[in-house]
Structures are given as structure tokens and as C-alpha cells.
Amino acid sequence: MAYENLMVFTGNANPALAEGVAKNLGIPLGKANVTKFSDGEVMVEINENVRGKDVFVLQSTCSPTNDNLMELILMVDALKRASAGRITAAIPYFGYARQDRRPRSARVAISAKVVANMLEKAGVERVLIMDLHADQIQGFFDIPVDNIYASPILLGDLQKKNYDDLLVVSPDVGGVVR
């Protein structure tokens, strides 16, 4: 299958995953420099032509959450300014998803919504996320969101391995549902 209009870029969160995805698609990983200034400020430079291309940015917002989130946002902005045709953020782990409602007080941020707004404002047109902390987060976006569940693949693999004493534990009550 030809993917001549498709490009995959990544920040520093998990370059090996992005390289594997690009390899499976039979395309090279997009060229970009993602560095930091001496004060820790993130700088992103796209090093190839993306004009009119269908671009996927594969970037988790895992720890260090703030750095990885800024890399994602700035990469999207750089791609948009470089005239990418469509930008999809593929986010294996969506940081700030735990703050998806006001639990006790009206004086807390709903950071999952803030991050959704930031991604849209930067230029993301579609989002792919793995196992969102809460399904309602999809409603925080005004763009298409695909919440991809890992459990069918994991369950199939676990059944093939046929473990004798397998124990699966949830970190919290909400995780039991997932």
C-alpha cells in the first residue's frame, strides 16, 4: 500500500515507537529537531517539506508531562506554519486526563479540557488516543477523537500465553471499568 502523502513525526517522548510505526507503514520517520534552550524552553524545527501532507504526530504526554506536551503543541504549530495538509495527534498516553471534572470544589481547573483546547488551537484536526482515563474527555474536543482500546489486543495475547496465575490489578475504581 502506498502512503506517499502520509508523514509521521515525533518528539522525544517515545521515538522508538514512532520509528516502529513508520517502519511498519514503509515510510521514513519525518525529520525534525526537538531541542531545548538553556532555560529549558522547547524548540521545534521541521526539517523537510510537509506542504499538503497528511501528518501524524506520535507523541505521548507521559512523564515529563509538561515537556512532552509542549513538544507536541509546538510541533503541531510548526507543522501548521509549514502548510501541512492535515495534522493528527496520535497520543498513546493523554496527560492531565485525571483532571476531567470538578470533584469537590468549583475552584479547580479541568485540565483535560484545557489541554484539548490547546491542541485544537495549535492546529490539531484529529486525535487518536489509547485508553482514555474517562470517555467524557472525548466531548472536551470539538474535533474528531478516536479512543482506541488496547484490551482486545492484550486479552488475545494473554489468552495465547495461557498464564496459570495471572492477576490484573486496577490502580483505582475508575480503571476497573476500562
Q: Residue 65: pLDDT band by 50, 70, 90 thresholds?
A: very high
User: H or E element: which one contains 122?
Assistant: helix 111-122
Which residue is it, cell 479541568? 110
Inter-residue contact 90 to 145 (CB < 8 Å): no
Residue 174: pLDDT over 70: no
Average pLDDT over residues 116-139: 89
Q: Strand 54-58 relative to strand 86-91: parallel, antiparallel, unpaired?
A: parallel
Q: In the prediction, which pLDDT does 102 show?
A: 72
DSSP code string of 20-88: HHHHHHT-PBPPEEEEE-TTS-EEEEE-S--BT-EEEEE----SSHHHHHHHHHHHHHHHHHTTBSEEE
81 vs 136 pLDDT, higher one: 81
> How much is the pTM?
0.87
Average pLDDT, the chain: 90
Q: Residue 172: pLDDT band by 50, 70, 90 thresholds?
A: low
All structural domains of the chain with their residue ranges: 6-177
What CATH architecture is 6-177? 3-Layer(aba) Sandwich (3.40)
Say how many C-beta atoms besides its own lie within 10 A of residue 66's C-beta.
13
Q: Which three cell numbers stand for residue 4?
A: 506517499
Handedness of CA 119, 151, 13, 32 (dihedral sign): negative
Running DSSP on this structure, what letter comes out for residue 18? H
Give the largest CA-CA distance in the chain.
54
DSSP code string of 102-156: -SS-SSS--HHHHHHHHHHHHT--EEEEES-S-GGGGGG-SS-EEEE-SHHHHHH
What amino acid occupies position 83?
S
